[in-house]
Amino acid sequence: MEWRSNLGFTERLRAIQSLTAVYQQTSSSAAFAEAQAEARRYETEAYDQATSKEEYDRMCQQAIDAAETKSVVAPVINGSDDVHNVSQELEPEPASSGSSAGEIFGQYTSCFHHYGGLQSTIYKSTAKDGTVRAVKITIPHLMAAPHDAQREARLLREAVGPHVIPLVETFNLDGGRLALVFPFLQYDFARLLERDMVTATQTRSILRDMFQGLAHIHKLGIIHRDVKPSNILMSSPDGPAYLADFGISWKEGDPGSEPSDLKITDVGTTSYRAPEVLFGYKAYGTPLDLWAAGCVVAEAITVGHGELFDSGPVGSDLSLIHSIFSTLGTPDEQTWPEVHVLPDWGKVEFYAFPAQSWEDILPAVSSNGRDLTRRLLRYQSSERHSADEALRHPYFSTV
């Protein structure tokens, strides 16, 4: 048929490569050759049986959706040796502090540097009974808004829940420092995705836990304001997963939080920032977190796990806006009625990009995963799925 003669070798190879990656993701034990053989079989079947390019594409998509279902019905869970190997790869070596005993913070001895950020330093401490803690040391009076360690502690105490990182205790140190103590969870979702170390089943479970955590804090009136893969922690790739790092979170009435209509817009991390704050909207609400969650979903389900939007090498707002507009289409007053309340809308004229199809934005992913992402990444914040609505989406119905 004519459509077959127009279907180039490169397109067929791309379909096989996409299917191969999906089959490998559905089972962490699948060898590349085995996954590729299955991919070739399905692609050849689609090529031979389809009567049009549209039907060929549809059959390849059905194969991807079937692979997702298969990973739910018969999930492959790594054995203990595999988990141990992952642990060895991801667990950083303690930094040398000049003493093999590590540092001491209050009752926590043998504290070794684990992670250092601009606003805090996190140490790993192992007690004599084997209990492992993460000790986060902050200097509150040196923190610039919206960072607030005292508010973080207050909101964490209020937000106790199955998928919110538990706050064990806080205590003051000399020099005005504040220590926040948490269970030590050695995995974060970002590093697992970077190393392609989670199956489709594990990914879906982690994302479900993320939305359950968001649903819980949103019911309490808390906006996380920094949802991203590295702030989703777990002790095992099998979960459970916890929302972490409430350092810039917000709740109306909290003494450290801004007025509801004058919130700080410099929140979120680069590529996960919602479009309303990019245009100066200060009265944003929980949909801010849902946009970021949509970015996390897209990153998690995409082969290669790249970020959906690109903020450029220095995290530029203009670069991010350009990336969003060139992907989802440049909005106007009809497609984004909210522009009327955006203080910075209209200050810069943008090229009128057409919207790409979601099949082009997220190729080689399940139909349910693509649809969930689409329902979260809406310009109009009121149209985004809430966390509860996301949990009811068919993507999670088989978890």
Provide the residue ranges of all domains of the chain, joining segments of one domain with +: 2-73, 82-183, 187-396
Predicted structure pTM score: 0.86
The pLDDT assigned to 70 comes to 65
Across the range 3-22, mean pLDDT stands at 80
Contacts of 117 (CB under 8 A, 6+ apart): none
Q: Is it the case that residue 150 has pLDDT exceeding 70?
A: yes
Q: How confident is the model at residue 315 (pLDDT cuts 50, 70, 90)?
A: confident
Confidence label for 19 from pLDDT (cuts 50, 70 and 90): confident
Residue type, 52: S
Catalytic residue among 148, 188, 209, 226: 226
- Is 266 assigned a catalytic role? no
- C-alpha distance from residue 238 to each of 187, 199, 235 (Å): 10, 9, 8
CB atoms inside a 10 Å sphere around CB 285: 17
Distance CA 353, CA 324 (A): 10
Same fold for the pair 82-183 and 187-396: no
Residue with tokens 């018969």: 74
45-104 per-position pLDDT tens digit? 888 888 898 888 888 888 888 877 665 433 333 333 333 344 444 554 444 444 467 899
Which of 81-95, 105-119, 189-203 is predicted least confidently? Answer: 81-95
The predicted structure's pLDDT at residue 97 = 43
Least confident of 153-157, 236-240, 370-374: 236-240
Instruction: Tell me what pLDDT residue 72 has.
Output: 46
* pLDDT above 70 for 385: yes
pLDDT band at 211 (very low <50, low <70, confident <90, very high): very high
pLDDT at 36: 78
Q: What sign does the dihedral 379-381-383-384 (CA atoms) show?
A: positive
CATH 3.30.200.20 is right for the domain spanning 82-183: yes
Residues 329/356, Cβ–Cβ less than 8 Å: yes
The pairing of beta strand 169-173 with beta strand 177-183: antiparallel
> Which range is least confidently modeled, 117-131, 227-241, 256-270, 369-383?
117-131
Greater confidence, 146 or 85?
Answer: 146
Q: Are 61 and 363 in contact (CB under 8 A)?
A: no
What lies within 8 Å, CB to CB, of 377 at 6+ separation is 291, 294, 295, 298, 308, 328, 384
**pLDDT of 25 above 80:** no
Q: Which fold has domain 2-73?
A: Serum Albumin; Chain A, Domain 1 (1.10.246)
Confidence (pLDDT) at 151: 96
Average pLDDT, the chain: 87
CATH architecture of 187-396: Orthogonal Bundle (1.10)
User: pLDDT digit string (tens) for 236-286?
Assistant: 999 999 999 999 999 999 999 999 999 999 999 999 999 999 999 999 999
Q: What per-residue confidence (pLDDT) applies to 337?
A: 96
- Per-residue pLDDT at 364: 85
Tell me the CA end-to-end span of the chain in Å, nearest whole number: 41
